[in-house]
């Protein structure tokens, strides 16, 4: 791996013969280690292929959208949670990278996609030249984001990823065009017209605010399939020193 300075102070670095622009970490004794940003991750053709393949695989077995829209949204929300709560820019960037990559394991299998996604991310980020201590943070966050696999936050970035992922419930995720054949997941997602995760750093409160069309799905349906996720969100918020709240149609339920 080599690096050189570009005009204007920006650096250029080479990874396996490919040229990238960005910042380099020049901590003593390390040589030039590229600082891997979310933008760099998005440029990677392997990431791009794995993400679109994951989404296609889930589409084939009837799941809601898990592609670029979900990846970008989760990345942005996870980053915002970290920044709003006063964590460093770099920790927030790692949360964004974990958010972008968290569902690529669905390319291998839906079952255990947290673990397979973690291993894929380990390979991708190591290949890009990310320092191992940062790879470890991203990989462990991805490995514990899924409720099927216990879903316990193991550090701040993992907690932010859980909250960001579970906050993405919205009608735009439903792919099935036939309303009459909706399952409960389609119905609940389709019923959500608006969702927003509020982070109040002063009150140390994180609140998921949803607007649901109860003609499409009663609020009880939401609880039937999202109870486990809400428990995960409460744990994740508590890990970040916050209370978790849920508000549906302006009624505070948690
Ligand atoms: Fe997932
Ligand atoms: Fe997800």
Could you report the per-residue pLDDT of 108-139, keeping only the tens digit for each? 999 999 999 999 999 999 999 999 999 999 99
Give 246's strand partners: 208
Quote the ligand 1 centre to 143 CA distance (angstroms): 9
Query: 233 and 244 in contact (C-beta within 8 Å)?
Result: yes
Confidence of residue 19 (pLDDT cuts 50, 70, 90): low
Going by pLDDT thresholds of 50, 70 and 90, the confidence category of residue 239 is very high
Residue 11 forms beta bridges with which residues? 5, 22
Q: What is the per-residue pLDDT for 254?
A: 82
> Mean pLDDT for the chain?
87
Q: Which residues fall within 8 angstroms of residue 149, CB to CB, at 6 or more apart?
A: 112, 114, 115, 143
Determine the Cα–Cα distance for residues 152 and 112; give it in Å rounded to an integer: 15
Instruction: State the CATH architecture for 9-252.
Output: Orthogonal Bundle (1.10)
What does the pLDDT read at residue 168? 92
Global pTM reads 0.86
Ligand nearest to the CA of 163: 2
Q: How far is the CA of 8 from the centre of ligand 1 (A)?
A: 40
Identify the CA nearest to 192 among candidates 252, 253, 249, 251.
249
| All structural domains of the chain with their residue ranges | 9-252
Average pLDDT (166-177) is 86
CA of 70 to the centre of ligand 2 (A): 7
Sign of the CA dihedral running 5, 10, 13, 18: negative
| Distance from residue 116's CA to the centre of ligand 2 (Å) | 14
Per-residue pLDDT of 60-118, as tens digits, reads 998 989 999 999 999 999 999 999 999 999 999 999 999 999 999 999 999 999 999 99
Q: How far is CA 117 from CA 74, 78, 127, 145, 242, in A?
A: 15, 17, 15, 10, 28
Q: How far is the CA of 66 from the centre of ligand 1 (A)?
A: 8
**CA-CA distance, 241 to 128, in Å (whole number)?**
33
CA–CA distance, 179 with 193 (Å, rounded to integer): 16
Instruction: Note the pLDDT of residue 179.
Output: 80
The answer, yes or no, to whether residue 8 has pLDDT greater than 50, is no
Which among 174, 143, 167, 171 has a CA at the least distance from the CA of 157?
A: 143
Q: What is the pLDDT of residue 27?
A: 53
Distance 13 CA to ligand 1 centre (A): 32
Distance (angstroms) between ligand 1 centre and the Cα of 224 equals 18
% of the chain with per-residue pLDDT over 70? 86
Q: Which has more pLDDT, 54 or 186? A: 54
DSSP state of 67: S
Q: 63: how many CB neighbours lie within 10 A of its CB?
A: 16
Q: Rounded to the nearest whole angstrom, what is the distance from the C-alpha of residue 96 to the centroid of ligand 2?
A: 13
Phi, psi of 43 (to 5 degrees): -70, -20
What pLDDT, in 10s, does the model give residues 147-157? Answer: 776 778 999 99
SS3 call for 211 = strand
DSSP reduced 3-state for 193? strand
Residue with tokens 């486990």: 228
Distance separating alpha carbons of residues 169 and 64, to the nearest angstrom: 10
Question: Can you say whether residue 9 is alpha, beta or left, with left for phi > 0 and alpha for psi between -120 and 50 degrees?
Answer: left
Sign of CA dihedral 238, 239, 242, 247: negative
């Amino acid at each position: 791996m080599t690096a050189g300075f570009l005009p204007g102070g920006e650096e250029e670095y080479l990874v396996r013969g490919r040229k990238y622009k960005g910042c380099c970490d020049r901590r003593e004794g390390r040589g030039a280690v590229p600082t891997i940003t979310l933008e760099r991750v998005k440029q990677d053709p392997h990431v791009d292929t794995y993400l679109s393949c994951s989404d296609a695989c889930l589409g084939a077995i009837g799941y809601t959208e898990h592609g670029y829209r979900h990846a970008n949204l989760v990345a942005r929300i996870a980053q915002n949670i970290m920044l709003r709560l006063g964590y460093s820019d770099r920790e927030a960037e790692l949360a964004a990278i974990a958010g972008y990559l968290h569902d690529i394991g669905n390319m291998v299998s839906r079952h255990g996609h947290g673990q397979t996604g973690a291993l894929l991310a380990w390979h991708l980020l190591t290949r890009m030249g990310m320092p191992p201590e940062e790879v470890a943070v991203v990989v462990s966050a991805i490995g514990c984001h899924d409720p099927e696999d216990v879903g316990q936050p193991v550090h701040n970035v993992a907690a932010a990823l859980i909250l960001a992922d579970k906050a993405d419930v919205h009608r735009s995720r439903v792919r099935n065009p036939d309303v009459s054949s909706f399952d409960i997941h389609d119905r609940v997602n389709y019923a959500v017209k608006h969702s927003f995760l509020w982070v109040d750093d002063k009150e140390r409160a994180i609140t998921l605010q949803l607007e649901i069309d109860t003609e499409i799905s009663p609020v009880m349906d939401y609880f039937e399939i999202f109870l486990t996720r809400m428990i995960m969100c409460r744990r994740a918020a508590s890990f970040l020193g916050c209370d978790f709240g849920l508000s549906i149609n302006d009624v505070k339920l948690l």
